[in-house]
């Protein structure tokens, strides 16, 4: 079956809520409700802390809150589904009334479905609908938005990573088409830091324009990642300048969304970048 044609309008449909990215970059704020996140493990593990941090991100200008209950950093320990549900569902339910849509960052269809039933509007899948065989059905059934991220089970330095990402996206879009997911509900993510060497991550960033050219909104996630620490030795907490630099490159290449820990700084960076681009 042919892959889906890209959406005609420049907006991302989050379960009926249209997020316009025409000339305005959407900022997705990260809310990790895990004790072992590589960057901010434990800061939002308690429910009250999670709610306070989510409200702060919205006040800083976040367009989406992305809630994750399982760390996916390199070498992470998989979380049993029961533990992931216990972590994320109370948070999703408590935040469902926020003025911005909620995204559930999970690779498990059962977690995605439970979160959607509690009020989430987007599924952020690190396996791009190609992991859990039930994920596409869950997204389609709930008319949810989906972020389909490129990933690889193993790192292989010999792979042409740009070609690999493009082929993966084609397969993801074919799976979405078979499930009946509307094009306007799909975003693509090149998966910086997932299944790639340092050089391949740089190559993927340099090729962002090719992914944008597919016609679907592209989400870029580089926030505080080891890529930055390999360019210049830094801890995750020290990587805001490098994160902003990579996301400005992404905005200039046409990315529709950036996924970040530091929302206020990126809202400012995005608005200034957009103002310059619009003046050209």
Tell me which residues are annotated as active site.
225, 259
The SS3 assignment for 27 reads: strand
User: What is the distance of C-alpha 265 from the center of its chain?
Assistant: 18
Distance CA 112, CA 65 (A): 15
Among the listed residues 183, 240, 258, the one whose alpha carbon sits nearest the alpha carbon of residue 24: 258
Q: Which 8-state DSSP code applies to residue 69?
A: S
How far, in Å, CA of 126 to CA of 152, rounded?
10
Of the CA atoms within 13 Å of residue 86, those in its CB half-sphere come to 8
Measured in Å, how far apart are the chain's first and last C-alpha atoms?
41
Query: Structure tokens of 125?
Result: 């899948």
What is the token pair recorded at 267? 């809202």
103, 120 in Cβ contact below 8 A?
yes
- φ/ψ of 219, rounded to 5, equals -100, 135
Q: Are 152 and 195 in contact (CB under 8 A)?
A: yes
Q: Cα(150)–Cα(195) distance, rounded to whole angstroms?
A: 9
């Amino acid at each position: 079956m042919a892959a889906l044609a890209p959406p005609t309008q420049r907006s991302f449909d989050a379960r009926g809520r249209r997020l316009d990215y025409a000339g305005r970059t959407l900022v997705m704020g990260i809310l990790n409700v895990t004790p072992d996140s590589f960057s901010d493990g434990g800061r939002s593990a308690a429910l009250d802390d999670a709610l306070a941090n989510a409200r702060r991100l919205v006040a800083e200008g976040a367009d989406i809150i992305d809630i994750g209950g399982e760390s996916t950093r390199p070498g992470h320990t998989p979380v049993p589904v029961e533990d992931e549900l216990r972590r994320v569902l109370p948070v999703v339910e408590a935040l469902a009334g926020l003025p911005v849509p909620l995204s559930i960052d999970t690779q498990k269809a059962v977690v995605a479905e439970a979160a959607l039933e509690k009020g989430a509007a987007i599924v952020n899948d690190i396996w791009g609908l190609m992991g859990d065989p039930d994920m596409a059905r869950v997204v389609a059934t709930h008319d949810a938005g989906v972020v389909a991220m490129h990933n690889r089970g193993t790192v292989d330095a010999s792979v042409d990573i740009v070609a690999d990402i493009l082929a993966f996206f084609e397969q993801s879009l074919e799976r979405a088409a078979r499930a009946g997911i509307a094009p306007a509900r799909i975003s693509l993510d090149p998966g910086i830091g997932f299944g790639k060497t340092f050089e391949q991550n740089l190559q993927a960033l340099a090729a962002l324009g090719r992914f944008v050219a597919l016609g679907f909104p592209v989400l870029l996630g580089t926030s505080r990642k080891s890529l930055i620490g390999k360019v210049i030795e830094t801890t995750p907490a020290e990587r805001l300048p490098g994160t902003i630099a990579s996301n400005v490159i992404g905005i200039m290449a046409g990315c529709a969304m950036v996924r970040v820990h530091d929302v206020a700084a990126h809202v400012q960076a995005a608005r200034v970048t957009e103002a310059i681009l619009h003046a050209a």
